Amino acid sequence: MSRIEQLIGEIEEYIDSCDFAPFSHTKIQVNKEELEELLVELRLRVPDEIKKYQQIISNQEAIIAEAHTQADEILAHATEQTNELVNEHEIVQEAYARATEIIEDAQGQAQAIVDQAVADADSIRQGSINYTDEMLQNLQAIVSQSMEDAQGRFESFLSTMQSAYEIVTNNRNELAAGMATAEEEGQGYQG
């Protein structure tokens, strides 16, 4: 900060520290000598500052060249930081792509496991159905054989019963014929 700016700041502080005039909120009471001292120093400093600014203007080309150099350095630094950020961004993108690939692989493996489990369950279910069908087929054969055996025994039993029935019927017929003959003979003796 230049001395002129300091003096202007001191004058503003001085004015702010002054008391208001009686019955006023806009007018202040100032110490004339103190204010004049600050203004005199300000007048004395203004030519020095003007010389300083003239020297700055005369060195304008050097200052502009320095500013360009600083701007180029800032630009180079910004470019370097941008390149680093781009590289970091590429790394992040690669990491994201790899993470996506890992997730897709995991999902594929999970789906393969589920598919295998479903296939195994279907195979077990089909095996159970086949086993049950074989057992029922064996039971069916046993029942059928039992029925055939029972049918054979029943037919044999019926045949035996039929023979017994026929023997009884023949015996009764013979007995009835013998009784009729005896009656006829008994009627012949009475006559």
Give residue 165's pLDDT: 92
- The dihedrals phi and psi of 59, each to the nearest 5 degrees, come to -90, 20
Helix (H, G, I), strand (E, B) or coil at 165: helix
Question: 24-39: per-residue pLDDT in tens?
Answer: 888 888 888 988 888 8
Give residue 95's pLDDT: 84
Give residue 188's pLDDT: 61
- By the 8 A CB rule, do 38 and 11 touch? yes
Q: Which residues of 86-116 are buried (b: 16+ CB within 10 A; e: fewer)?
A: eeeeeeeeeeeeeeeeeeeeeeeeeeeeeee
The amino acid present at 165, given as its one-letter code, is Y
Residues in the chain where the model's pLDDT stays below 50: none
Question: 98-121: per-residue pLDDT in tens?
Answer: 888 888 888 888 898 888 888 888
Tokens, residue 157: 């039993």
Give residue 138's pLDDT: 67
Rounded Cα distance between 105 and 124, Å, is: 28
Query: What are the structural domain ranges in the chain?
Result: 3-58
Measured from the Cβ of residue 16, the count of other Cβ atoms closer than 10 Å reads: 8
Give residue 31's pLDDT: 87
Q: For residue 15, give every residue at least 6 positions away whose Cβ sits within 8 Å of its Cβ, in sequence order, or none.
A: 28, 30
Give residue 169's pLDDT: 94
Strand partners, 20: 28
Strands (DSSP E) along the chain, which ranges?
19-20, 28-29
